[in-house]
Structure 1
């Protein structure tokens, strides 16, 4: 007999395994894992369970270890099932009887009895998770003294941020959608909103974009018909920003699939850009640009609020691969600028190798980011660069981790 909710839990287990054992992203693993899960609600539940396990894994494991005589191996299936069960009770407020009914069938024989006993013991103890998730040891070592503060911003998934096509209508849209705003052109709503049902979606009045992700394009100002290259453009939020600001945009990306999404958003918002699918290391522009925005491929550790899988997948090898790619793209971008042209470099990474270390090697003339270009509560670094992390603006809902720098070509 089919047990309601069991496919969602089995899929969540498969998602977690894909991240921890194969190093896949949650998005990469979702296609196969969700193939047998029916209904949007159960699919959302699957992602929520997997996300909370990955967000709180170290703390869930500590609870499990406190209730076992002999420590379960890290790769033992009962440990994974117990993580999944505890995350539902402690984070998603699922009743214990429902957790047992949909969790224990994932195991057979002795492991089922073991999991039932450990789970029941912890529920009777009325255990809880700490206010702030404990980061994996490797992440703590990389982020150093910043780690504790950053972790405070990872306790909850983020709110929903929108970028407005017409920033002068910010207050109008804030009232219409019941949101708050942290700067012109930005709107923040509680998470969980059904995006396609919100006013303004069909007419393209806005698109989804984290506040931190919107800052790099803002630093190029108004286009007034000048030519800008959005390098590594897909899925397109920054292309839309630049087009809305009056730039003549060339949007370059290697991914055909991701560019299709960009084209869909251009059509929805009634904005225009020259969309080019090509490898940036092989492509050559017909003429240099007035400005270039390089939102470079990166480890994306700055998105750990919404993608907690990065806390477990990213290590020295991935960081080294990304830094090599970023250095090459920065060199290409510098070649394609007009004299007097501006280059903005950005990564949604919390790794210094991808941010500060890259910026220190650029041979263009620095153009420091100014305080009045940023939302209240954010400040440039002494070098004139910008570093954000998930703990910043916490009282307003936080923001993703980004590094941003700007230069001018002499």
Structure 2
């Protein structure tokens, strides 16, 4: 017999659409209270919702995280005493307001679907605060505020212009970037997909259909990869031939680039789930690589390679516009922990490059501890390595080569074309 939903069932639809809001609440709790990455929390948080409702839960949570300081400022402006940060009433208001003010949900639906989240709690308060804010006609700022600690840190390191660029970058989900298996087909895929290109082998699409429904996906003619994320392998493929090792390789975008460029690639990663995605991507694109499941701090190759790519684990603060959760869960202790891991990995793997070979070190981080300081420390320890500065022609117009020979992408770069993720990339030559 089919069980009828009841009000005691935590996922009963007290109002149509409530289960997706419950899932959004679970996602936000996972990120803000437990410090989990949003994507990692998605499976457990959405276990009782399916199809479009799962996507809606993710969209609501992501938009709350993009706009969190501004949403809280609105809530605090109409309450006599601030609600605790982790109070369900505050969480429900964040979810209701982001629907009404960002996602275009009718106001009655936005509040009706969140009131069941505070059943047994201050429902009248939630309803009253929501009504006071929406009746006032107030709008969220065009450029979201960054979390104060993040803004202070980035302004101190990079200056006010970078922080302004970060606010612009997080104002809306970014465009979809594709890397092509054959750069010679760039004009064809720009026309086929209705996109633009910032350099050969790249296509950018705005308001794209679901990725799996786009032309060329099933045939493996391209893969999703931010243009900044494509730079490390571009710099390696330009100088290298023969064998290449891609460390921390999954889900495989850079492995695919190296294979498509004609290198014989060994791709190493410790995560079985991520390796599964790497194998799927290789199968779809019909590209080849040896896939090795191993901890790179314990594994070693049988012999050195002509090229080595260290796509090092990092805080991932450079991909905040795609993953706004990093703004709220990454703090200095995590950054320092990741920097120590990178230093161990960098030092260990440096011996896996043949004399005369090329090493590229990259992180998707905006923290100097995970980039500039890492490179400086490595070069002071390894006199058999030297910077191999890339030609500017290998980079998208608007992304410069630093005077010290490395590449640093920052919020604000390529802003008129849709922006790019934050990366640090250094290409080195082993001299002896």
| TM-score with structure 2 setting the length | 0.92
The Cα of 1:70 is off from its aligned counterpart by: 1.7
Whether 1:16 aligns to 2:28 is yes
The Cα of 1:38 is off from its aligned counterpart by: 2.2
Whether 1:244 aligns to 2:255 is no
Query: For the aligned residues, what is the CA RMSD?
Result: 1.3
Moved more, 168-177 or 254-263: 254-263
Whether 1:386 aligns to 2:407 is yes
Distance 1:187 1:310 in 2: 26
Q: Deviations over 1:162-218 (max 9, x none)?
A: 110000000001111111111000011124421111111111100111111001000
Distance 2:343 2:58 in 1: 34
1:152 matched residue in structure 2? 168
Write the mapping of 1:123-142 to structure 2, written as runs, cut at 5 A.
Answer: 123-142=134-153
Distance 1:298 1:397 in 2: 24
Moved more, 249-258 or 16-25: 249-258
Change (3 A) 1:202 1:300: same
Whether 1:52 aligns to 2:63 is yes
Moved more, 362-371 or 333-342: 362-371
Distance 1:262 1:109 in 2: 46
Whether 1:330 aligns to 2:341 is no
Distance 2:226 2:34 in 1: 28
Where does structure 2 lack aligned partners over 5 or more consecutive residues?
6-12, 380-384
Whether 1:105 aligns to 2:82 is no
Distance 2:266 2:238 in 1: 16
Q: Deviations over 1:277-299 (max 9, x none)?
A: 11111112111111101110001
Secondary structure in structure 1 of the residue aligned to 2:220: coil
1:171 matched residue in structure 2? 187
Q: Deviations over 1:231-260 (max 9, x none)?
A: 111110000000000111111111122111
2:10 matched residue in structure 1? none
Secondary structure in structure 2 of the residue aligned to 1:276: strand
Write the mapping of 1:145-294 to structure 2, written as runs, cut at 5 A.
Answer: 145=159, 146-222=162-238, 225-294=241-310
Distance 1:240 1:110 in 2: 52
Distance 1:109 1:319 in 2: 40
The Cα of 1:224 is off from its aligned counterpart by: 7.4
Whether 1:309 aligns to 2:325 is yes
| TM-score with structure 1 setting the length | 0.97
Distance 1:152 1:113 in 2: 36
Distance 1:148 1:352 in 2: 19
Q: Deviations over 1:86-136 (max 9, x none)?
A: 111111011101102101121135611001111101111111111211111
Distance 1:225 1:137 in 2: 46
1:38 matched residue in structure 2? 50
Distance 1:49 1:103 in 2: 12
Distance 2:86 2:240 in 1: 57
Moved more, 43-52 or 221-230: 221-230
Q: Deviations over 1:29-64 (max 9, x none)?
A: 11111001122x111110110001111100000001
Distance 1:74 1:43 in 2: 25
Secondary structure in structure 1 of the residue aligned to 2:377: coil
